């Protein structure tokens, strides 16, 4: 099944990646390739809009986590918005967004920002 990845520049350093279809082992490489250029040092906020995402597998989660790690190194953040209930549940199970705050975009932003700071601190501890 095909995936559609539409990238929208909101403002300097802030991009929205609208993903449509299925984000699985077949389509994850295409999504990853499509956003690779956004993982540059100039990106401070990367928002995944999953309004039209029908399915996400562990490979799809890997794309999100890789983006989170890359953006965190730049002191930026990744945001997930508009996840449909089944997608929000997968994100909850994976520990990316707790189910009780998945519906609240602001709460999800705060949670993801905290996770990224925690991951960034782990990387500094290891490298020091």
Q: Is the pLDDT higher at 112 or at 44?
A: 44
Task: Tokens for 18, please give them.
Answer: 């609208």
Task: Check residue 105 and give its pLDDT.
Answer: 53
Residue-wise pLDDT for 9-36, tens only, equals 988 889 999 999 999 999 999 999 999 9
Model-level pTM?
0.75
At 90 the pLDDT is: 86
3-127: CATH architecture: 2-Layer Sandwich (3.30)
CB 28, CB 63: distance < 8 Å: yes
| Span 63-111, pLDDT tens digits | 999 999 999 898 888 888 898 888 988 888 888 765 444 445 555 566 6
Hey, which bits of the chain come out as E strands? Answer: 3-11, 14-23, 45-56, 77-81
The three state secondary structure string of 82-100 is CCCHHHHHHHHHCCCCCCC
Tokens of 63: 């794309």
């Amino acid at each position: 099944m095909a995936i559609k990845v539409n990238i929208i520049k909101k403002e300097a350093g802030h991009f929205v990646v609208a993903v449509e279809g299925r984000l699985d082992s077949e389509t994850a490489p295409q999504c990853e390739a499509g956003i690779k250029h956004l993982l540059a040092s100039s990106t401070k906020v990367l928002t995944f809009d999953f309004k039209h995402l029908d399915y996400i597998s562990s490979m799809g989660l890997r794309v999100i986590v890789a983006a989170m790690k890359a953006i965190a190194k730049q002191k930026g953040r990744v945001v997930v918005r508009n996840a449909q209930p089944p997608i929000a549940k997968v994100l909850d199970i994976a520990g990316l967004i707790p189910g009780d705050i998945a519906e609240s975009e602001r709460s999800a932003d705060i949670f993801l920002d905290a996770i990224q700071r925690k991951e960034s601190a782990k990387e500094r501890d290891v490298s020091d």
